[in-house]
Chains A and B, each alone.
Chain A
Amino acid sequence: MIKIPSSILREIYDHMEASYPHECCGLMVGTIERSGEGQRVVHAARRCRNLNTDRAHDRYDLDPMCWMKTEREFEGTPWSIIGIYHSHPDHPSRASQTDTDAALGAGMLDYSYVIVSVQKGKVASAQSWILNESEKKFYEESLVVVDEEGDRP
């Protein structure tokens, strides 16, 4: 399960709607509980550039400098990069074969991949996925939107 505060999810959605019809991407920073259910909680999001300008309508390449800067920004804190978000303009929020192959290539195990479908410029759905290396596929994890008072019913 990944918990994302509604205000941070709104920031992510704003990024995606402003980037439409292009794909956009960014990083989610937070904590992963190492016991129990391994619950993930997002505490911040950082927008990154999509370096794939030739095919920005259906591809993204996250600026590696964004990863570097975000890691350094949170060094020495309890928070670290726990996931990546990106949009699928006019396409479902399922992980594509492209997403799977790229994540396997980069060894992105134990990271949440939040994928958001943006239909005609507006967010339509969001799902979160985690890579299973041995099966070479993404499995969906629960995405729970929370607010200051706690979990949303």
Chain B
Amino acid sequence: MTVTVKIPTPLRPVTGGLGELKVDGATVGDVLRQLDAQYAGFADRVFDANGVKRFVNVYVNEDNIRDKKNMETELKAGDTISILPSIAGGRCPRLS
């Protein structure tokens, strides 16, 4: 099934400047792996063997996949996957 993937601006250098892509896949993992095959360096920025990286969020429509089945989250035709940077920080001296 075909879904739409929204690429945030920090990641667009990897996708040749494209902000929206149409990809086929049954799960979020399928889609992300396809994008990695198509765009060199995509996985380095988005996911590794343990799943989505710490400072990246992946939503299917309005749901964070960390609250679903992570990379195994199933997709329906017409779903929108949004890849979003995890913006964090603060005055404390160390991340915890």
Q: Which residues of chain A in 75-134 are interfacial with respect to chain B, using CB atoms and an 8 Å cutoff? A: 75, 80-81, 84, 86, 88-89, 91, 95-99, 101-103, 105-109, 111, 113
- A91 neighbours in B (Cβ, 8 Å): 91
| Residues of the A chain whose Cβ atoms lie less than 8 Å from the Cβ of B6 | 68, 71
CB-CB under 8 A from B11, the residues of chain A are 107
- In the complex the two chains form, what is the Cα distance from A68 to B19 in whole Å? 12
Whole-angstrom distance between the alpha carbons of A71 and B92 in the complex? 29
Contact A67 B90 (CB under 8 A): no
A62 at the interface (CB under 8 A from B): yes
A105-B48 Cα distance, complex, nearest whole Å? 13
B86 touches A61 (CB 8 A): yes
Residues of B within 8 A of A84 (CB): 87
Determine whether the beta carbon of A101 is less than 8 Å from that of B95.
Answer: yes
In the assembled complex, A12 has its CB within 8 A of some CB on chain B: no
| A28 interfacial by beta-carbon distance below 8 Å | no
B33 within 8 Å of A (CB atoms):
no
The CA-CA distance from A105 to B10 in the complex, in Å, is 12
- A68 touching B82 in the complex, CB below 8 Å, given contacts A55-B90, A96-B89, A102-B87: yes
Residues of the B chain whose Cβ atoms lie less than 8 Å from the Cβ of A140: none
Residues on B lying within 8 angstroms of A by beta carbon are 6, 8-11, 19, 45, 53-57, 59, 62, 64, 82, 84-95
Can you name 29 A-B pairs with beta carbons within 8 Å? Answer: A55-B90, A58-B91, A58-B92, A59-B89, A60-B88, A60-B90, A61-B88, A62-B86, A67-B8, A67-B84, A67-B85, A67-B87, A68-B6, A86-B89, A96-B89, A96-B91, A96-B92, A97-B94, A98-B92, A98-B95, A99-B90, A102-B55, A102-B88, A102-B95, A105-B55, A107-B11, A107-B85, A109-B10, A113-B89
